[in-house]
Amino acid sequence: MTMKAKAAIMVVAVTMMVIFMTTASANEELSVRHRRGTLTQCSGGKRVPVRICVKTAEGNAVQSRGTDSDVRVRLNGANCHSPVYDLESSNDDFEQGDYDCYGFKTYDVGTPVNSIQVLLVPFRDSWLMDSMVLRYNNAQPCLRFYLRWWFTNQTPKTLVGPTVVNCSRYSL
State the CATH number of the domain containing residue 61: 2.60.60.20
Structural domain total, the chain: 1
Mean pLDDT value across residues 110-127 = 89
Instruction: Assess if residue 43 is contained within a domain.
Output: yes
pLDDT given for residue 91 in this prediction: 85
Instruction: Assess if residue 107 is contained within a domain.
Output: yes
Highest mean pLDDT (candidates 61-65, 130-134, 149-153): 130-134
Distance separating the N- and C-terminal Cα atoms of the chain: 25
* Cα gap 80→108, rounded to integer Å: 8
Instruction: Assess if residue 158 is contained within a domain.
Output: yes
Instruction: Assess if residue 77 is contained within a domain.
Output: yes
Instruction: Assess if residue 172 is contained within a domain.
Output: no
pTM: 0.75
The pLDDT tens digits for 12-35 are 333 333 222 222 333 333 444 444
- Alpha helices (runs of H) in 65-109, residue ranges in sequence order: none
Between residues 30 and 82, which one has the greater pLDDT? 82
Instruction: Assess if residue 19 is contained within a domain.
Output: yes
Give the structural domain span for 117: 3-167
pLDDT band at 104; cut points 50, 70, 90 = very high
pLDDT band at 1; cut points 50, 70, 90 = low
Burial 67-76 (b: 16+ CB within 10 A, else e): bebbbbbbbb
Instruction: Assess if residue 144 is contained within a domain.
Output: yes
pLDDT given for residue 146 in this prediction: 87
